[in-house]
């Protein structure tokens, strides 16, 4: 996670400096085809180029909502890297773990810029793989003393508390209600697959930083309307998917209401937190550039260590 935080922060800075190319995710909703056998699947193509890192690639990811019943991950992903000079395919790697760790790191970088430096109480709403990565990232950055975790499945929340509490040496308390988790927290992270209000405005204290990481709206709209600052990882993506999408479609939220993108803060183009009373919200949809940046590191580290499997995909060209 410390390495991922460094990479993700660097990629955010590249975005803020305007030295990245990353179109919005291309979406394939298989349910739109009448005779498709996979009615629960959503595929996403996420290309990116990072100039200063000389990295270009694509994450090909998908959400299969029924996969947990098949003992498979909810998110399946692969990352492809290409040589920016020749277009030759450099590497293919599993992208699920990269997705998990860079998602946690993205929240961590935002917390570094936007949360109170004295933040000690954290609420994690959603105790899955992503929830675990969120608290791993935050524990690298803050003197956390109190963690509350809420999940629709109480047993999952208990497992989270036991496993992550032991791993990180933290006091983690499972809660039975969203309100119990959120009230009094310095940082609230929603990271679920729900499409409902999980955190209400009256539960949020002055000075709170809130990260919406799920793919659907999870926050009371009044939180967004009354926040001192609302940021996104990418406006091009957030205006059509995720926490803000319905409000944008209804004409209740637009770019005029946005403080900016996290990359602008990391690059020093906009201020982060300016006082301990600000309520700041950051909405994440996930950047393909973060996947490519992390994958580039993995590729270079694999070469350095002499690990991985070589295959002659371009043998005829190279011959």
Q: Which residues are known to be catalytic?
A: 59
Q: Which two tokens stand for residue 293?
A: 């940046």
Pairing of strands 55-64, 41-50: antiparallel
**110 Cβ neighbours under 8 A, 6+ residues apart:** 209, 211, 231, 262, 282, 284
Q: Which two tokens stand for residue 301?
A: 């580290």
Q: Which two tokens stand for residue 231?
A: 């940021």
- Smallest CA-to-CA distance from 105 within 228, 298, 287, 260 is with 287
- Smallest CA-to-CA distance from 246 within 318, 197, 314, 178 is with 197
CA 63, CA 80: separation in Å to the nearest integer? 18
* CA 2 to chain CA centroid, nearest Å: 16
Q: What is the CA radius of gyration of the chain?
A: 20
Q: Is 102 exposed, middle or buried (0-12, 13-18, 19+ CB in 10 A)?
A: buried
Determine contact, residues 141/112, Cβ cutoff 8 Å: yes
Q: How many CB atoms are closer than 10 A to CB 266?
A: 24
Angle, helix 129-139 to helix 154-168, in steps of 10 degrees: 30
């Amino acid at each position: 996670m410390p390495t991922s935080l460094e990479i993700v922060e660097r990629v955010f800075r590249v975005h803020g400096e305007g030295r990245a190319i990353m179109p919005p995710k291309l979406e394939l909703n298989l349910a739109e085809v009448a005779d498709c056998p996979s009615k629960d699947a959503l595929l996403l193509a996420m290309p990116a180029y990072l100039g200063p890192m000389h990295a270009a690639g694509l994450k090909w990811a998908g959400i299969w909502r029924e996969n947990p019943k098949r003992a498979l991950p909810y998110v399946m992903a692969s990352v492809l890297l290409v040589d920016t000079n020749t277009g030759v395919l450099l590497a293919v790697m599993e992208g699920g773990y990269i997705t998990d760790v860079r998602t946690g790191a993205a929240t961590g970088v935002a917390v570094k810029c936007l949360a109170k430096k004295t933040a000690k109480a954290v609420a994690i709403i959603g105790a899955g793989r992503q929830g675990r990565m969120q608290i791993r990232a935050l524990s690298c950055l803050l003197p956390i003393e109190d963690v509350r975790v809420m999940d629709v499945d109480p047993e999952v929340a208990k497992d989270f508390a036991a496993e992550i509490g032991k791993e990180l040496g933290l006091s983690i308390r499972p809660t039975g209600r969203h309100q119990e988790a959120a009230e009094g927290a310095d940082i609230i992270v929603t990271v679920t697959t729900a499409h409902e209000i999980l955190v209400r405005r009256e539960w949020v204290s002055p000075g709170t930083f809130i990260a919406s990481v799920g793919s659907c709206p999870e926050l009371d709209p009044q939180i967004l309307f009354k926040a001192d600052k609302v940021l996104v990882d990418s406006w091009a993506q957030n205006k059509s998917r995720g926490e803000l999408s319905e409000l944008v479609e209804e004409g209740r939220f637009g770019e005029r209401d946005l403080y900016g993108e996290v990359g602008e803060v990391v690059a020093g183009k906009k201020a982060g937190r300016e006082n301990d009373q600000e309520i700041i919200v950051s909405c994440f949809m996930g950047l393909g550039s973060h996947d490519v940046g992390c994958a580039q590191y993995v590729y270079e580290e694999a070469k350095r260590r002499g690990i991985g499997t070589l295959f002659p995909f371009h043998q005829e060209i190279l011959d």
